């Protein structure tokens, strides 16, 4: 199932709330987003069907990102970089951040190009 932009917004909200509190309920999402509870309930139901969320006894947890702390750290790094003026140094920093993102979420256990360069420079 393809995740639409609105689904991404709900999932992002659940990720944000999961950083602040142990259990995230539909009511919490509705309050945070200022949406109606039936709208949130429907969206959460669709996210569960698409296996983006896992329902627990007292709330929901995201399935899309198994490592939410690392995701938000990289997310914040990219946002910080996007606010800087363009330069060759910025390009290198963005590339390094994207390499870390790929290594963390798409190929865990595989060295990033930055790690390989660092290792080779030590030899």
Give the per-residue SS3 of 16-60: HHHHHCCCECHHHHHHHHCCCHHHHHHHHHHHHHCCCEEEECCEE
pLDDT at position 110: 64
Cβ neighbours of residue 77 closer than 8 Å, sequence gap 6 or more: 97
Max CA separation in the chain (angstroms): 61
pLDDT given at position 15? 81
* Axis crossing angle, helix 113-122 with helix 88-105, rounded to the nearest 10: 100
Q: Supply the pLDDT for residue 111.
A: 67
Global pTM reads 0.54
Give the chain's residues under pLDDT 50.
none
- CATH code assigned to 5-62: 1.10.10.10
Consecutive H or E run containing 90 = helix 88-105
pLDDT at 39: 92
CATH 1.10.10.10 domain locations along the chain: 5-62
Q: How many residues does the chain have?
A: 123
Say what the pLDDT of residue 72 is.
Answer: 76
Give the pLDDT score at 40.
92
């Amino acid at each position: 199932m393809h995740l639409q932009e609105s689904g991404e917004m709900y999932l992002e909200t659940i990720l944000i709330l999961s950083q602040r509190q142990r259990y995230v309920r539909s009511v919490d999402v509705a309050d945070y987003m200022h949406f109606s509870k039936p709208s949130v309930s429907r969206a959460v139901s669709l996210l569960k069907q698409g296996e983006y969320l896992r329902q627990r006894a007292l709330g929901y947890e995201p399935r899309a990102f198994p490592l939410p702390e690392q995701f938000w750290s990289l997310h914040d790094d990219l946002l910080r970089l996007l606010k800087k003026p363009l330069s060759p140094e910025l390009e290198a920093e963005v590339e390094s951040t994207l390499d870390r993102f790929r290594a963390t979420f798409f190929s865990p256990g595989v060295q990033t190009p930055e790690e390989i360069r660092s290792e080779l420079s030590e030899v």
